[in-house]
Structure 1
Amino acid sequence: MNSFEVAKRIEQIAKNKEISGAELARRVGTDRSTINRYFKGSRKIPMDEIAKFAEALGVDPVELLIGKEELTKIKNIYPIEEKVKIPVIGKIACGEPILAQENVEDYIYKAPDNLPSGDLFALIAKGDSMEPTIPNGAIVLIRVQPDVESGEIAAVLVNGDEEATLKRVKKSGNSIWLVPDNPKYEFKQVTKDYPARIIGKAISYEKKL
């Protein structure tokens, strides 16, 4: 691997996608000065960083290693499945649709195999209220839908529609409860004093190391 050639490909792709050096550094988890050294060739990019740059730029890691033209030739011989870009939702902008750009803080890329139909987004589980089912820090894949069956885990908007939380939804008659899987937390009943709105069903999760 020619590290400088890889760095120049990264630099060009970032420029084409209007991703600044500072933003690229944030996505990769490093600092701007390190990115600059990579681009200038004064520091080699470690092999284990290639996947991080590929995810940050939304491209195939092989494209960074050999270039888009060579990758296209390979795909023509051995078809490679394109990945689906899924937004990771942060704090919800009041009044904005859940998938509005204002709400997106990052992206993950998944192979289309076994992905459910419909609009998808992801949430990062914060805290241990859904442990052991969903650990703190897990990236949870959500399918957009306005309701779930009783007992299923949903992404729910609370706090005036500005905060998305993951809870198990339990229905009893006309009552709806938001139930944490961790028994040390209390149930919350959905009422006019504690309004909540289901925005999607939790499908699966992955835990980054």
Structure 2
Amino acid sequence: MRSNDEIISLIQENIDEKGLSMSELARRVGIAKSTMSRYFNKTREFPLNRADDFARALNITPEYLLGIQKESNVDQAEIISIYNKLEQPRQEKVLSYAKDQLEEQENSNIISIFNKPQDDEDYITDYVEGLVAAGHGTFQEDNLHMEVRLRANDVPNEYDTIAKVAGDSMEPLIEDNDLLFIRVASQIDINSIGIFQVNGKNFVKKLKRDYDGSWYLQSLNNSYEEIHLTENDDIRTIGEVVEIYKN
């Protein structure tokens, strides 16, 4: 079986030969472009459970993609030997039967447009990597890495990661269980909505600056007080919210 690097190299060779872009391959496979980039950057292992999807998109077999020798119980040499021993009328029957079998196999692989789910190509798969609080903050000790199926038209072209919202402090704009597409950045502009870690807790808030020059995080829901930041706080800006996904 091929290694992760060998699989990615083979995929790269195939998309180069076929003139495909990474975006087009991601669309055909049904995953986000950002996820595809992580496979090519080798920051994430190739998903073996999606080998069939990649192979179909590249018009190759999963066995070839993964470097697996497909076992067969059919001895081709034996078939040819038997065929050659038959008289011509019987050879014609064998050939006719083989053609019928091939046609039946090809027809079985054709899916009617009336039976195929019409929205399959309108969704992509990506992963939620974090949990952020629209409220009083939430701790996250481990990576969430939760697979989600997203409407392709609602996914922005450029983002780095996805977080899930817990709480209502950013309503009505951001609601509980919404997904946030995030551009990772160490700094964001004033009045932008970002993801911040304050003393170990993750927040989604609007970044504000007071008249005296001090910084604070603001909720959109007036029921929540502002979070004023001091030099004694352990503060980290994770990134800026570029898009909100409503479930």
- Bigger Cα Rg: 2
* TM, length-normalised to structure 2: 0.43
Q: Whose helix fraction is larger, Structure 1's or Structure 2's?
A: 2
* TM, length-normalised to structure 1: 0.50
